[in-house]
A and B are shown apart, each in its own frame.
Chain A
Amino acid sequence: MATTSKQYKNIGEDLWKGRAEKINAELFALTYGALVVQLLQDYEDYAEVNKQLEKMGYNIGTRLIEDFLAKSAIGRCADFREVGEVVSKVGFKSFLNITPSITHGVAPPPPSPKPDGGASTTQASAGSTFTLTLDENPLAEFVELPEEVLEGGLWFSNVLCGVIRGALEMVVIHFAQLSPSLKTNSSRQVQMQVQVDFISDVLRGDESTEIRVKLVKYLEEEVPIGDD
């Protein structure tokens, strides 16, 4: 039942078109810009501002995911790779009308299944990453960073990292897990703890704008669906 990449793109496109309320892009960019500059004036510390932006994003993300899951018909994702696909093709598209390209990181190879079940399977996927490359960034429409801000290490769009982190923490992945010892499959519902960072940003003179999402660990809640 794997949803293809193209299908995700179509879902994203439909969601975006279906939204009755859109906001003027310039207004959005100017609002966010004013916010960042105000934070810089208040905190006067670039690392702190990065942290605050991420925190704000986290709060937004935990709420946004509700809206997203309600409006989209996205079923449960099978694995972290699929999560990445949905985030880039449906998530970003439906809220910001951009589709970042995605590069999946190589996860460490899973060990052979052990009799005690899938704990090792899920652990092995921890450390997986995907990287989103944004060709365009609606937040940074008019922005030019002055010298001292560049040197200070500000990630202007850091709110996006927080949004992804907050949203994914609320999402449940449904693992269908083969367990030789049980007659039927049990499924684990797990939520994800991720670490999201900017790797590069064209505002800082880099060649591209990239966000890396790394799976730190699964937060488990095992729900066996089969009878034992």
Chain B
Amino acid sequence: MNAVAFISPQNHPILIRTFAKQDEHTIKYHYIAHTSLDVIEERVNTGGKAAECYLGLLYSMEDVAVYGYITPLKVKIVVALALSDSVVKDVEISMIFKALHMAYYSAISNPFLKLDFPTEVAQDHSPYLLVGSPKWRNFRERVDEISRIVGNTSHAVSIP
């Protein structure tokens, strides 16, 4: 897995984590996240009433395949996977998204998020944006852990 992006319902980035090698430009993944937003919006609008969280392959470019997921509260998760010869099953990607969703859910359930804004009214769902800040280590660690596990499994798959 090369990168993960969590984006708020108002299209503000919550967390963007990249795991690609050092020489790749991480800014590329910001661009990927943005493009994905357009594709997701399109999919969601044409999808009608079908309330399916997992959106499947959004598009692929250069060396990555980009998959999308939207939570019931309209938080978008975008995963960029390095293209490889091995076949990646849809159900596996779906599982990855569920794990990421759960990591996000645990992070926003932290009661101490509220302490950061004692006076502000929660407009624009600002507590949910700050869950990606470096201050809250657990969320990042869990996302990193998920990517590590994915990295290990796909490694096993691509070795003949």
Asked if B118 and A41 make an inter-chain contact with CB atoms under 8 angstroms apart, the answer reads yes
The residues of B that contact A41 with a CB separation of less than 8 Å are: 115, 118
B110 at the interface (CB under 8 A from A): yes
The residues of A that contact B111 with a CB separation of less than 8 Å are: 30, 33-34, 36-37, 142-143
Number of residues of chain A lying within 8 A (CB) of chain B: 17
Interface secondary structure of B, over-half rule: helix
* Assembled-state Cα–Cα distance A194/B8 (Å): 50
Asked if A142 and B106 make an inter-chain contact with CB atoms under 8 angstroms apart, the answer reads yes
Q: How far is the CB of A115 from chain B (nearest CB, A)?
A: 59
B114 at the interface (CB under 8 A from A): yes
The residues of B that contact A36 with a CB separation of less than 8 Å are: 111
Closest B residue by C-beta to A146 = B112
The residues of A that contact B137 with a CB separation of less than 8 Å are: 144
B84 at the interface (CB under 8 A from A): no
A176 at the interface (CB under 8 A from B): no
B109 at the interface (CB under 8 A from A): yes
B59 at the interface (CB under 8 A from A): no
Number of residues of chain B lying within 8 A (CB) of chain A: 14
A145 at the interface (CB under 8 A from B): yes
The residues of B that contact A34 with a CB separation of less than 8 Å are: 111
A-B contacts at CB below 8 angstroms, number: 41
Asked if A40 and B115 make an inter-chain contact with CB atoms under 8 angstroms apart, the answer reads yes
Per the 8 Å Cβ criterion, residues 105-157 of B in contact with A are 106-107, 109-112, 114-116, 118, 135-138
User: Which of B109, B116, B118 makes the CB contact (< 8 A) with A142?
Assistant: B109
Asked if B112 and A145 make an inter-chain contact with CB atoms under 8 angstroms apart, the answer reads yes
* Assembled-state Cα–Cα distance A84/B101 (Å): 41
A147 at the interface (CB under 8 A from B): yes
User: Which of A37, A141, A144, A149 makes the CB contact (< 8 A) with B136?
Assistant: A144
Q: How far is the CB of B109 from chain A (nearest CB, A)?
A: 4
Closest B residue by C-beta to A143 = B110
* Assembled-state Cα–Cα distance A37/B136 (Å): 16
Asked if B115 and A37 make an inter-chain contact with CB atoms under 8 angstroms apart, the answer reads yes
User: Which of A30, A33, A37, A147 makes the CB contact (< 8 A) with B135?
Assistant: A147
Q: How far is the CB of B122 from chain A (nearest CB, A)?
A: 14
Q: List 14 A-B contacts (CB under 8 A).
A: A26-B109, A29-B109, A33-B109, A33-B112, A34-B111, A36-B111, A37-B111, A142-B110, A142-B111, A144-B136, A145-B112, A146-B116, A146-B135, A147-B135
Question: 14 additional contacts, CB 8 Å, given A41-B118, A143-B110, A144-B107?
Answer: A33-B110, A33-B111, A33-B112, A36-B111, A37-B114, A40-B115, A142-B107, A142-B111, A143-B112, A144-B110, A144-B137, A144-B138, A145-B112, A146-B116
